Homo-oligomer: A and B are copies of this chain.
């Protein structure tokens, strides 16, 4: 069953509005405000997105394309380290472009569109694999270090995006240098994949 044309248009208007609103007022903006900006009634918004979660997910979904593009670029790079580090930089840039949403923009690890984000994660694992074989990524790096980095980045963005919007880049470069060989002292054990997965599913408050 096809959606009516005007309904589809409104859906897009809402998503546009939500995108801006979330980005610069955080994930708690009143839905009524989003509806107002979109130029529709609240009821319309609620019909299309019964819960705030649904709306957040839909907005996040729009970003997955950006991650896919970054991933393709990384995989295409003949230099494994450039591929890996480029992807990490791109992912954090994507977060930075929507600072209010940074916490939910961890699409490469766990996104709303299960299939596609799983695919991105697969590709990312391949980047990791190559960079390790190549010797440029330290042996004890684990895939869960990316969500960790993205969470850390979200924290920095939260604190600085208003006053020092490039500060996050410094964090990212520090971490990339730490990720690159040679590994130095041993690291504390990483969380298990299961723990990390749960962490991404129980959004903090």
Contacts and interface: CB of A to CB of B under 8 A. Distances in A.
Interface in A164-193: 164, 166-167, 169-171, 173-175, 177-180, 184-185, 187-192
A6 interface: no
Interface of A: 26, 28, 103, 145, 147-149, 151-156, 158-160, 162-164, 166-167, 169-171, 173-175, 177-180, 184-185, 187-192, 195-196, 198-200, 202, 204-205
A3 to B, nearest CB: 35
21 contacts: A147-B159, A148-B170, A151-B156, A151-B160, A152-B152, A152-B156, A152-B171, A155-B156, A155-B158, A160-B199, A162-B199, A163-B191, A164-B199, A166-B189, A167-B191, A167-B199, A170-B188, A170-B190, A175-B178, A177-B178, A178-B178
Copies of this chain, complex-wide, total 2
Nearest to A102: B155
Given A178-B175, A187-B170, A151 B145 contact: no
A28 B160 CA distance: 21
A202 B166 contact: no
B151 A158 contact: yes
A97 to B, nearest CB: 17
Contacts of A179: 174
A175 B155 CA distance: 15
Contacts of A205: 26, 28
Given A152-B153, A164-B195, A188 B159 contact: no
